[in-house]
Amino acid sequence: MARKKRIVLAALALLGTVSVLAATPAAATTTGTPSVRAACATGWGSTDKTGTATTTASLTNVRTGTHDCYDRMVVDVPGAGTGLGYSVRYVDRLYQDGTGRPIAVGGGAVIEVRVQAPAYDPQTGRPTYPGRVAQPLPGVDLTGYPTFKDTRFAGSFEGDTQLGLGVRARLPFRVLVLDDRIVVDVAHSWSAAR
């Protein structure tokens, strides 16, 4: 009888353990880290963002990356420190400075990114960035990006460089000025979670 009682108690204990494991998310039981949706910042808005500063440094690179909550564009201006001016805004269509030429940018919405730094050496006039007007940004591959759909180089005119960023839809974005670069983050959605 005691043996039978021990077997019943062991079976109940095993059943309790199985119930607890079944109620635990799979990620927690396999990796020890709970499976959690990324909490994404809200409140960036989609209105124009500007910053005023001047630099004599030249733009040398544009790169992109994707994160849990947003896609990111980084414009590198070595030697500028945090003295970078910019204007980032949604536009109905991208027009090249100086000529007024329209530049087609793919996506459901277009963001014009202006950086107050030339894409050439002001002393020699030689290009410091290999962008070609109306062409995709060199070295930028947006395959698999949730938000970014297209990029275009619009040119560099009177010390400002103009870029087009095609996005899936009009979404919130923010602009950060860090040492030697400007960062543009465009959220994947308007909601707090991806």
pLDDT tens digits, 20-76: 333 333 333 333 333 345 578 678 999 999 999 989 899 999 999 999 999 999 999
- For 10, other C-beta atoms within 10 Å of its C-beta total 10
CA-to-CA separations, 180 to 60, 74, 78, 176, 177, in angstroms, rounded: 10, 10, 5, 11, 8
Q: Examine the pLDDT at 135 and tell me if it is beyond 90.
A: yes
Query: 88 is written with which tokens?
Result: 């980032």
69-93: string of b/e by CB count within 10 Å (b at 16+)? bbbbbbbbbeebeebbbbbbebeee
For 116, phi then psi, to 5°, come to -85, 65
Mean local confidence (pLDDT), 160-166 = 97
Instruction: Provide the CA 112 distance to its chain's centre, in angstroms.
Output: 14
In the chain, the percentage of residues whose pLDDT exceeds 90 is 73
Q: Which residues pair with 85 in a beta bridge?
A: none
Q: What is the pLDDT of residue 34?
A: 37
pLDDT digits (tens, 9 = 90+) for 98-107: 899 999 999 9
As a whole number of angstroms, the longest Cα–Cα distance in the chain is 98
Q: Which residue has the higher pLDDT, 158 or 15?
A: 158
Tell me the C-alpha distance between 163 and 114, whole Å.
Answer: 6
Amino acid 191: pLDDT: 82
Q: Residue 192: what pLDDT?
A: 55
Phi, psi of 27 (to 5 degrees): -60, -35
Tokens of 34: 């709970």
Q: Which two tokens stand for residue 28?
A: 């927690």
pLDDT of residue 143: 97
Give the model's pLDDT for residue 20.
36
Give me the pLDDT at residue 3, please: 55
Assess whether pLDDT exceeds 70 at residue 9. Answer: no
Bridge partners, residue 177, by sequence:
182
What is the pLDDT, as a whole number, of residue 102?
98
Give the mean pLDDT of 86-105.
97
Sole residue written with tokens 């947003």: 70
Beta-carbon contacts of 127 under 8 Å, excluding residues fewer than 6 positions away, are 119, 120, 121
For 2, phi then psi, to 5°, come to -65, -35
Mean pLDDT over 149-159 rounds to: 96
Mean pLDDT, to the nearest integer, of 123-143? 97
* Closest to 89 measured CA to CA, from 175, 150, 4: 175
Residue 38: predicted pLDDT: 58
